[in-house]
């Protein structure tokens, strides 16, 4: 585990990718990060990454190489789009994107077959991909404080199968 949170860091050293034994938690929340070193992508055994409360306008590319991630937190940034590569994180169970600038999600979120919780609170969403309705493990989707979204009809199917949908 490595906790670098609450340090006003503007960058990380490229040598962070050499921490091959780092497998459980990497806390980078509450810093001033705009990017991550490409070497971070070598930490494929990492299970939890917290990038919340930084200055990311997009999720950095090395994140999509972290195929062992089970939980990704990137709340309270300035992320306006998610790339299709989000679907590469097939082990994700939790994805927290609260208080960003997302208007939609890519269809590739449908590849996150293990996803159980999706937190989209406070984003200016205008649409959601129907692929979310097909995620077999999804048991909670949080859309509170999203005033720009007309709830799609397929949300009722999620509720009917026991998924908690917060509007």
pLDDT at 75: 98
Mean pLDDT of all residues in 117-136: 97
pLDDT at 21: 94
* 160 secondary structure, DSSP code: H
Q: What's the mean per-residue pLDDT of the chain?
A: 97
pLDDT at 89: 98
Compute, in degrees rounded to 10, the torsion defined by CA atoms 104, 29, 138, 142: -60
Give me the residue spans of the domains in the chain.
2-166
Residues sharing a CB contact under 8 Å with residue 125, sequence separation 6 or more, in sequence order? 102, 103, 104, 143, 146, 148, 149
Burial state string for 76-115 with b = 16 or more CB within 10 A and e = fewer than 16: bbebeebeeebbbbebbbbbbbbbbebeebbebbbbbeeb
How far apart are the C-alpha atoms of 23 and 159, rounded to whole Å? 35
Mean pLDDT of all residues in 11-30: 96
Helix (H) or strand (E) segment spanning residue 76: none
Cβ atoms within 10 A of the Cβ of 162, count? 8
How far apart are the C-alpha atoms of 138 and 150, rounded to whole Å? 20
How far apart are the C-alpha atoms of 141 and 143, rounded to whole Å? 6
Mean pLDDT of all residues in 19-39: 97
pLDDT in tens, 65-118: 999 999 999 999 999 999 999 999 999 999 999 999 999 999 999 999 999 999
Superfamily of chain region 2-166: Ribonuclease Inhibitor (3.80.10.10)
pLDDT at 163: 97
pTM of the predicted structure, to 2 decimals: 0.96
pLDDT at 123: 98
Helix (H) or strand (E) segment spanning residue 142: strand 140-142
* Among candidate residues 119, 40, 125, 115, the one with its CA nearest the CA of residue 76: 119
């Amino acid at each position: 585990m490595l906790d670098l949170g609450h340090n006003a860091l503007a960058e990380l050293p490229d040598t962070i990718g050499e921490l091959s034994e780092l497998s459980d938690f990497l806390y980078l929340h509450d810093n001033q990060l705009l990017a991550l070193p490409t070497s971070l992508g070598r930490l494929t055994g990492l299970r939890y990454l917290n990038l919340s409360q930084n200055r990311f306008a997009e999720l950095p590319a090395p994140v999509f190489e972290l195929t062992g991630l089970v939980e990704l937190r990137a709340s309270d940034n300035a992320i306006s789009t998610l790339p299709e590569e989000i679907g590469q994180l097939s082990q994700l169970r939790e994805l927290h994107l609260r208080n960003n600038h997302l208007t939609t999600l890519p269809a590739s979120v449908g590849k996150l077959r293990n996803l159980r919780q999706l937190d989209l609170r406070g984003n200016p969403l205008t649409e959601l991909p129907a692929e979310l309705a097909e995620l077999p493990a999804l048991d909670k989707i949080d859309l509170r404080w999203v005033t720009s979204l007309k709830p799609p009809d397929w949300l009722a199917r999620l509720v009917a199968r026991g998924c908690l949908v917060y509007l």
